[in-house]
Amino acid sequence: MPTTKRDYYEILGVQKSATLDEIKRAYRQLALKHHPDRVGAEHKKEAEEKFKEISEAYAVLSDAQKRSVYDQYGHTPGFDQRYSTEDIFRNADFSSIFEDLGLGGSFFEGLFGGGALGAGRGARGSDLEMELPLTFEEAARGTTKMVTVPRRELCHECRGEGGERAACSTCRGTGQIRQSAGFMVIARTCNRCGGQGGTVKKACPACRGSGRVAVERRIEVRVPAGIESGMRLRLAGEGEAGPRARGDLYVHLTVKPHPLFRREGPHLILEYPASIAQAALGAEVELPTMNGRVSMKIPPGTQSGTVFRVRGKGLPDVQERGGTGDLLVRVSVETPTNLTGAQRKAFEELFRALGDDAHPARRSFLAKLKELIKQR
């Protein structure tokens, strides 16, 4: 694939609002157009690269979860480091598309370089998914959690064989029947043995011939600092066991809200209610952060809605290694309520003494209003 990847929607020529049927239709047309077996020898290499590019775009945009992550991050570490080539093409439905090309099957290892696409059915164990709730502090600072995962593992008694086996005469024990189709090698599951490579003559009593047993495992999940709700962690090889390889465990993270902070990426947002005196006269205030307290000066004459930035006091930036966000303090000037008679009298005397000169925005508004009334 090219070093700088093009936008997947641009590759398929569809809008970001395209439906799954529109994405599938666009890919079908492009696949028929750029299939390497349909061009001359001098354009074959170019067609192969184009075919790989449109197939990768289709594999992502036809999967609701991958598409959602791509729409959020695009080609940034948030997406490209989260999904390997194997992840991108896993479970992608190419079989119905390639019927138009006169090709069957769903695994094209000659095209995509093996991995999950070249494995026979059942060769790799199933992926598992789970949710992991975190406090705001745990997500901000990072943490390590121990989780219990129910999964199926290879039976130790029969080593996953299910018992005494006899090799399949059709696939000769491989579980696959391979056929060449132009520059691709198509691997189909053997119909005779169902991809198992053989049949069980005498079932193992421990697993009753399945080759796997149900267990519960305690697994350590390391959560990096600065993680956001909705992100997921991939623990390679912690899914269910298959005859040749384990699946993966995907941990979906949900972060509970904080009573004071909210976040925008790596930045922490804090709403600070300032008194009229603090806003008018200025003040030095102490503010909370995720790592202790910091002092911040509110300059005299601060208006409600003003945002001050305290650099480096946000959260670790998971998209930028070593980066840290800022603390953004939004000042909200609070108008006093439930005044006593004496307090009200004091305010009236203060505002008479201030006049309009202390309120330039109000003075400007009244001047413009007066001008409009004159024009009428």
Q: How confident is the model at residue 1 (pLDDT cuts 50, 70, 90)?
A: very low
Q: What are phi and psi of 375, to 5 degrees?
A: -65, -25
Looking at the fold, whether 108 and 182 belong to one and the same domain comes out as no
Looking at the fold, whether 8 and 114 belong to one and the same domain comes out as yes
Asked whether residue 266 is domain-assigned, the answer is yes
Looking at the fold, whether 234 and 316 belong to one and the same domain comes out as no
Measured distance CA(204)–CA(188) in Å, rounded: 28
Q: How confident is the model at residue 71 (pLDDT cuts 50, 70, 90)?
A: confident
Supply the range of the domain harboring residue 34: 1-118
Looking at residue 212, the DSSP 8-state letter turns out to be: E
At residue 161, the pLDDT reads 77
3-state secondary structure of 306: coil
**Residue in 244, 264, 250 with CA at minimum distance from that of residue 314:** 264
Measured distance CA(31)–CA(280) in Å, rounded: 67
Looking at the fold, whether 132 and 235 belong to one and the same domain comes out as yes
b/e sequence 47-82, b meaning 16+ C-beta within 10 Å? bbebbbbbbbbbbbbbbeebbebbeeeeeeebbeeb
Looking at the fold, whether 345 and 293 belong to one and the same domain comes out as no
Q: Is the pTM of this model over 0.85?
A: no
At residue 260, the pLDDT reads 95
Q: How confident is the model at residue 37 (pLDDT cuts 50, 70, 90)?
A: low
Looking at the fold, whether 288 and 235 belong to one and the same domain comes out as no
Measured distance CA(120)–CA(170) in Å, rounded: 15
At residue 256, the pLDDT reads 95
Comparing 244 with 353, which gets the higher pLDDT?
353
Token pair, residue 204, equals 């193992």
Looking at the fold, whether 10 and 94 belong to one and the same domain comes out as yes
pLDDT digits (tens, 9 = 90+) for 274-311: 999 999 999 999 999 998 999 999 999 999 999 999 99
pLDDT over 60 (residue 120): no
Looking at the fold, whether 126 and 144 belong to one and the same domain comes out as yes
Count the alpha carbons within 13 Å of 281 in the hemisphere toward its beta carbon: 7
State the average pLDDT over residues 167-174: 78
Comparing 322 with 303, which gets the higher pLDDT?
303
CA triple 56-62-67, angle to 5 deg = 85
Looking at the fold, whether 133 and 246 belong to one and the same domain comes out as yes
pLDDT over 70 (residue 26): yes
**Residue in 104, 94, 100, 93 with CA at minimum distance from that of residue 181:** 104
Q: Which residue has the tokens 């399949």?
A: 168
pLDDT digits (tens, 9 = 90+) for 12-21: 999 999 998 8
Asked whether residue 208 is domain-assigned, the answer is no
Q: How many domains does the chain have?
A: 5
State the average pLDDT over residues 340-349: 93
**Residue in 173, 195, 172, 210 with CA at minimum distance from that of residue 121:** 195
Looking at the fold, whether 145 and 236 belong to one and the same domain comes out as yes
Looking at the fold, whether 75 and 114 belong to one and the same domain comes out as yes
pLDDT digits (tens, 9 = 90+) for 207-235: 888 788 999 999 999 999 999 888 889 89
Asked whether residue 298 is domain-assigned, the answer is yes
Looking at the fold, whether 353 and 308 belong to one and the same domain comes out as no
- In the chain, count H helices and then E strands: 12, 15
Measured distance CA(210)–CA(213) in Å, rounded: 8
CATH number at residue 47: 1.10.287.110
Q: What are phi and psi of 353, to 5 degrees?
A: -70, -35
Measured distance CA(57)–CA(127) in Å, rounded: 22
